[in-house]
Amino acid sequence: MLNLKSVFSIALAITLITGMPAHAEEIIKLATTTSTENSGLLKNLLPKFEAESGYKVQVIATGTGKALKLARQGDVDVIMTHAPAAEAKFVDEGYGLLPRGIMMNDFVILGPKNDPAKIRSSKTVEQAFAKIAKSGETFISRGDNSGTNMKELIIWKNAKVDPSFTGYKSVGQGMGKTLLMANELQGYTLSDRGTFVAYQAKLDMAIDFDGGQALANPYQIMLINPVKYPDLNHEGARALSDWLIGAEAQGMINSYKVKGEQLFKATYSE
Amino acid sequence: MNEGWLALLQQALSLLFSLDPEVWSIVSVSFSVSFAALLITLLPSMILGFVLAFGRFPGRWFITNLIQTLQSIPTVVIGLLVYLMLTRMGPLGDLRWLFTQKGMILGQMLICAPVLVAMSQAAFTSVDRRAWETSRTLGASWIRAIWTLCRELKVPLLMAVVAGFSRILTEVGCSMMVGGNIADVTRNIPTAIALETSKGDFAQAIALGLVLLILSLVLNFALGILRGKAEPRSH
């Protein structure tokens, strides 16, 4: 006799089997940061890769911290992040393989247009941070363990300032929301240039400090160790990584513009 | 990876019982903001509920239905509304309340009030109108008559308070938009859970979730006991 439970499980099994794509292998799950997704870069690159390779890429856009966590738990096939120290640790611990720097952009310190903490005259980014802390002005921190947040904390450490002064606000939001909050509160914040360009029209803020090389923001793509998680789509992950370092993708990264500004600089060289 | 369920739960419990300052700062923000919103809204809402139940005036039907509708507006919409009012360019921008506890309290008041009004109106409607009229004709003052009524309706009115309080204590949309989730200032339990989950740090999220769960168990069981006393199981 068929009871309700077995009918349900059979129905569920059928749904699962027929509902799955014919080749589950063809999906690549990419965990990456909100900056690559929000800037529109991935929407520009990935359709080309999908057309050429036949793979389908599903993007999970989150902070770098969460992306690394997802990879560590074997929930995604490949990751693209921007936090060199955390990435090195990920590789050292045997989770990540074949880190490749595919592109970079840079961070800038945004603040009120009249620069009340007078950071424009600073020589180094550490000096600029120290001035903000001393001035009593507001500083908005992402506070979400993202690549930008990690970079910011390293700068505080190098500047020998404890980021717990009164004006320091840790908001735990994505880059875009953080910019809007900094704008509302007329405070300073560390942002990647790309998100600032995308949000510029909505903000009454300016780049108060432009650090050049010291604020470089390199992005790496990493594969996940098949020894840890044998059942991931390692072939697809490798294909994506190989394609991104190829001449075509590197060229597309360089020519990608938002509002007339180049956001990322392709950096892969053999 | 030692992040099995049990390990996570263990971490969560140790955060709670070691009185982790970060966790308890979040809990205290949640409670102080929501209590303030509840306290400010309570009396006016109950009065409005009473007026809607007992008064007979044009527009009563309209207001009743409007409040029913407001009850089901998503909290993010209220968050959006409050955000637009409080933003620098908004009509109340000069208050500089955006991303402060005051802003959060304002938002939560707007979320709480319709629940309180609708539920207290239902409670007041449930009593026999004649009881009210009798006590009035017997010479009881307004205040006295209302007080008697409230004592009679202790349980349903408390249920209204608990429902309103639960709604604002657990809502995430408005608090996130208006409060901005600033650590130690406007980060409350729901926004912290959202953040910790997005960071992949589940232990703290679970610890905070447990606080909400325990609280709602306590409140509901307390109400259950009260209700049991008010309506003895007699058949």
A60/A84 same-domain check: yes
In a domain, A14, yes or no: no
**A to B CB pairs, distance under 8 Å:** 46
Is residue A22 very low, low, confident or very high in pLDDT (cuts 50, 70, 90)?
very low
pLDDT in tens, chain B (235 residues): 455 788 888 888 888 888 888 888 999 999 999 999 999 999 999 999 999 998 888 999 999 999 999 998 999 999 999 999 998 888 998 888 988 999 999 999 999 999 999 999 999 998 877 777 787 788 778 788 888 888 888 889 999 999 999 999 999 999 999 998 988 899 999 999 998 887 777 888 999 999 999 998 998 898 888 888 766 555 4
Residue A64 lies in domain: 27-104+218-266
Number of domains in chain B: 1
- Note whether A66 contacts B199, CB cutoff 8 Å: yes
A191/A131 same-domain check: yes
- Note whether B200 contacts A185, CB cutoff 8 Å: no
A36/A169 same-domain check: no
Query: Which of residues 148 through 187 in chain A touch B, CB cutoff 8 A?
Result: 169-173, 181, 184-185
Q: How much is the pLDDT for B170?
A: 92
In a domain, A16, yes or no: no
Question: How, if at all, do strands A56-62 and A27-33 pair?
Answer: parallel
In a domain, A15, yes or no: no
ipTM above 0.85, yes or no: no
- Note whether B180 contacts A171, CB cutoff 8 Å: yes
pTM of the model: 0.77
In a domain, A10, yes or no: no
Q: How far is A2 from chain B (nearest CA, A)?
A: 35
8 Å CB contact between A105 and A217: yes
Q: Which of B99, B183, B199 sits opposite A184 (nearest CB)?
A: B99
A160/A249 same-domain check: no
In a domain, A203, yes or no: yes
In a domain, B42, yes or no: yes
What is the tens place of the pLDDT at every residue in A76-128? 999 999 988 899 999 999 999 999 999 998 999 999 999 999 999 999 999 99
What's A153's domain CATH number?
3.40.190.10
A123/A192 same-domain check: yes
Comparing A50-59, A251-260, B136-145, B153-162, the range with the smallest average pLDDT is B136-145
A200/A146 same-domain check: yes
In a domain, A244, yes or no: yes
In a domain, A1, yes or no: no
In a domain, B2, yes or no: no
A97/A126 same-domain check: no
A131/A262 same-domain check: no
In a domain, B45, yes or no: yes
Query: Which of residues 224 through 243 in chain A touch B, CB cutoff 8 A?
Result: none
The answer to whether A191 faces chain B, any CB pair under 8 Å, is no
- Note whether A172 contacts B185, CB cutoff 8 Å: no
Number of domains in chain A: 2
Residue B40 lies in domain: 9-228
What's B89's domain CATH number?
1.10.3720.10
- Note whether B199 contacts A144, CB cutoff 8 Å: yes
In a domain, B43, yes or no: yes
